[in-house]
Chains A and B, each alone.
Chain A
Amino acid sequence: DTEVTQTPKHLVMGMTNKKSLKCEQHMGHRAMYWYKQKAKKPPELMFVYSYEKLSINESVPSRFSPECPNSSLLNLHLHALQPEDSALYLCASSHPGLAGANLDEQFFGPGTRLTVL
């Protein structure tokens, strides 16, 4: 199985809602990533988990809260979002290299299209 799955595909939420995005992979990858992508822009790294531990947090606002319950799952909990947070949220995974660096290709999921009203 060389697939990264993401649910839901689309999500519309109000600024007071709490919702979660889910990502799953069964390739045995031990590095997992969350990216945010606005229209016609490149993906921007938000978080990286390596061996289920948060490795990188790119100064993301606390209204985004990542969670890695096990080596196959990655969640992104959303609370009190703003309309400017509307974007495509992409999950990816990869094999971590020896010294904790990313030396391999990343496999991406199809993304969750998030709209905040």
Chain B
Amino acid sequence: SQQGEEDPQALSIQEGENATMNCSYKTSINNLQWYRQNSGRGLVHLILIRSNEREKHSGRLRVTLDTSKKSSSLLITASRAADTASYFCATGGTGGFKTIFGAGTRLFVKA
């Protein structure tokens, strides 16, 4: 099965609320990345956290990484309608270029 699994699969919230998405993976990683994809478009890189980091912030984004549990979470604070998109975690293995994407969380922010 896939390296990265995400939950929830879909999330619907009101504008201004926080959104939390989780990602689990199976093998050792170099880093874990989060990407956003608007409908049918290319992916946009949001944030990268390395395996020796536990938490990282970027604007309204907060990512945590727990390598002992092989899991990560993405928190988007004060969500906006423009945050409506699919969010994917992606893991880079320790051995090379192979990047595996999780199933994704579809976020819908209602104005």
- List A residues at the B interface (Cβ < 8 Å): 4, 31, 33, 40-45, 48, 50, 55-56, 88, 90, 92, 96-97, 100-111, 113
**Is there contact, CB below 8 Å, between A101 and B94?**
yes
**Is there contact, CB below 8 Å, between A42 and B101?**
yes
Instruction: Give how many A-B residue pairs fall within 8 Å (CB-CB).
Output: 77
Q: What total of chain B residues lie within 8 Å of the partner, measured CB to CB? A: 30
CA gap between A41 and B104 in the complex, in Å: 8
In the A-B complex, list the 3 residue pairs whose CB atoms are closest, starting with the nearest.
A42-B101, A108-B42, A105-B45
**Is there contact, CB below 8 Å, between A102 and B30?**
yes
**Is there contact, CB below 8 Å, between B97 and A43?**
no
**Is there contact, CB below 8 Å, between A42 and B104?**
yes
**Is there contact, CB below 8 Å, between B95 and A42?**
no
* B78 interface hit (Cβ, 8 Å): no
Closest residue on chain A to residue B45 by CB atoms: A105
Rounded to whole Å, the gap between the CB of B25 and the closest CB of chain A is 13
* B88 interface hit (Cβ, 8 Å): yes
